Chains A and B, each alone.
Chain A
Amino acid sequence: MSPTELDTQAPPFAEPHVADQTADVALIVNGRALRLVIDPRVTLLDALREHLQLTGTKKGCDHGQCGACTVHVGGRRVLSCLTLAAAAQGQSITTIEGLAESDRLHPMQQAFIDCDGFQCGYCTAGQIMSAVALLQEPCGPDDDDVRESMSGNICRCGAYPGIVAAVQAVRGRRR
């Protein structure tokens, strides 16, 4: 069940495979085309962590209540714990590992460091994936607008003031 680089001879996204107990799933993860043959019960979160060894995405509640597992699917932020990997067939996935360009951090990653946007760090990957997506969404200019738009990401350390500051810094609303 280990991932394989997609065979370039094969059609990149064939008709979804239907079988009783396995799903043949093609994904593009952080720009890499991959193929997984997995139990259809595997969530996108578990596919990333357990099958692709991309452990930057975190499992918090595993029930859509904390946001730690936030990734981008097709450029939009979603919860990977409530997404079946098989239902992400053919989709382009971005995780926290895919944000930086070689050694250059994404501006949001840098802002979280500069603004003290985390303490223990467990929620941080989800926070940053949410914050990066927020930049492309309709969101008002004020701190309260950012708080509302970031409400799907819980931080038990309570780093919220730093998180809001980081998002506003990247949006040019604060220095």
Chain B
Amino acid sequence: MDPFRFVAAADEHAARAAASAGARYLAGGTTLVDLMKLHVERPRTVVDINALPLTEIAETPGGGVRVGALVRNSDMAHHPLIRARFPLLSQALLAGASPQIRNMATTGGNLLQRTRCYYFRDTSAACNKREPGSGCSALDGCNRIHAVLGTSDHCIATHPSDMCVALAALDAFVLLSGPRGSRVVPLVEFHLMPGDHPERETAIEPGELITAVDVPPLGFATRSAYVKVRDRASYAFALASAAVALDLRGGEIRDARIALGGVATKPWRAREAERTLVGRPPDAASFRAAADAALAGARPRAHNGFKIELAKRTIVRALTRAGAMA
């Protein structure tokens, strides 16, 4: 690790005051400390925000839930409100990392997880995300784990989060607090596609602090599933994942939510796929048509073409599972 100044912030004001240029907020540390050891993250100041009172999970009017930024992933996953109303979110959280890491990792930190791209994590490689303008070693390198959706000529790194995929399907909102007050950003707009500036990953502004995530009410989220496919059965990042929810009435799909992980540069909402399902019966043909629509824009590189069919089958399996729920 490079040397840094350590500041333990007692409250939000102190945290923001200490967060000058080159500072990083420390919550669970599961991404930040790892990347500091690799010299990928080199903060001059580390501001420990763990004392801030952002640890509540509370019901919001209409049946939604507000989750504090410092709620640990394990606590969110096992919370009765999350389990009962948003099973896909609980499943996504429990599909991520390991119990130890879930006890550390926070809601806000999970939103700011950095990619697992080998070249981003290796300071001897070219990476436009880590070192803007240096190039992208992944484009013609080992790109089996890389994205097929939302890529650019400058970056094909996948977004690693499971939680964010479920939150994208649920139309969640990110609550931010900053020097100029508070604001709310839809989760699907919070993460940015790489485009010409892969170093810009989120809509967060300097000095802003994530305070909470709002999950709005969605009645049919009780009929939902998160399916994750990876190289081993547990404790691995997704090759492909799907968070889905189905509004099923009278043998017909009235509404649907589909979001993808492991295959895109950001938590990927597949709205075209959702539209193809409306008015159709919940059967294999409908699910396959939706999967085809979701991956229609996919652009593979040399080693990740398999992800297109894998993602389609993951979507079909998730929809089948949700459709079969009582």
Q: In the complex, what distance in Å separates the CA atom of A63 from the CA atom of B50?
A: 21
Query: Is A16 an interface residue when CB atoms closer than 8 A count as contact?
Result: yes
The answer to whether A87 and B99 touch across the interface, beta carbons within 8 angstroms, is: no
Check A79/B104 contact, CB under 8 A, given A18-B8, A87-B26, A134-B99: yes
The answer to whether A87 and B100 touch across the interface, beta carbons within 8 angstroms, is: no
Q: How far is the CB of A163 from chain B (nearest CB, A)?
A: 14
The answer to whether B1 and A152 touch across the interface, beta carbons within 8 angstroms, is: no
The answer to whether A18 and B6 touch across the interface, beta carbons within 8 angstroms, is: yes
Residue of B nearest to A23 (CB): B6
Q: How far is the CB of B160 from chain A (nearest CB, A)?
A: 13
Q: In the complex, what distance in Å separates the CA atom of A21 from the CA atom of B1?
A: 13
The answer to whether A152 and B30 touch across the interface, beta carbons within 8 angstroms, is: no
Q: In the complex, what distance in Å separates the CA atom of A173 from the CA atom of B33?
A: 38
- Name the interface residues of A18-72: CB closer than 8 Å to any CB of B: 18-21, 23, 39-41, 43, 62-64, 67, 70
Q: Mark B217-235, 1 if CB is under 8 A from A, else 0.
A: 0000000000000000111
The answer to whether B33 and A82 touch across the interface, beta carbons within 8 angstroms, is: yes
Q: In the complex, what distance in Å separates the CA atom of A20 from the CA atom of B5?
A: 5
Interface range for A: 35 or more
Interface range for B: 20 to 34
- State the majority secondary structure of interface residues on B: mixed
Q: How far is the CB of B261 from chain A (nearest CB, A)?
A: 19
- State the majority secondary structure of interface residues on A: loop
Check A82/B30 contact, CB under 8 A, given A18-B6, A67-B100, A152-B99: yes
Query: Is B97 an interface residue when CB atoms closer than 8 A count as contact?
Result: yes
Tell me the total A-B contact number using a CB cutoff of 8 A: 92
Kindly list chain A residues whose C-beta atoms are within 8 Å of the C-beta of B1. 41
Q: In the complex, what distance in Å separates the CA atom of A150 from the CA atom of B213?
A: 29
Query: Is A11 an interface residue when CB atoms closer than 8 A count as contact?
Result: no
Residue of A nearest to B38 (CB): A63
Query: Is B78 an interface residue when CB atoms closer than 8 A count as contact?
Result: yes
The answer to whether B99 and A77 touch across the interface, beta carbons within 8 angstroms, is: yes
The answer to whether A77 and B5 touch across the interface, beta carbons within 8 angstroms, is: no
Query: Is B250 an interface residue when CB atoms closer than 8 A count as contact?
Result: no
- Name the interface residues of B96-119: CB closer than 8 Å to any CB of A: 97-101, 103-104
Query: Is A169 an interface residue when CB atoms closer than 8 A count as contact?
Result: no
Residue of B nearest to A133 (CB): B99
The answer to whether A77 and B103 touch across the interface, beta carbons within 8 angstroms, is: yes
Question: A-side interface residues toward B, CB under 8 Å?
Answer: 15-16, 18-21, 23, 39-41, 43, 62-64, 67, 70, 76-79, 82-84, 86-87, 89, 130, 133-134, 137-138, 147-149, 151-153
15 contacts between A and B (CB under 8 A): A16-B48, A18-B7, A40-B6, A70-B100, A77-B100, A78-B103, A79-B100, A82-B104, A87-B8, A87-B29, A152-B99, A152-B100, A152-B101, A152-B235, A153-B98
Having A18-B6, A133-B99, one finds 6 other A-B pairs with CB under 8 Å, namely: A62-B37, A63-B38, A79-B104, A82-B28, A83-B29, A152-B98
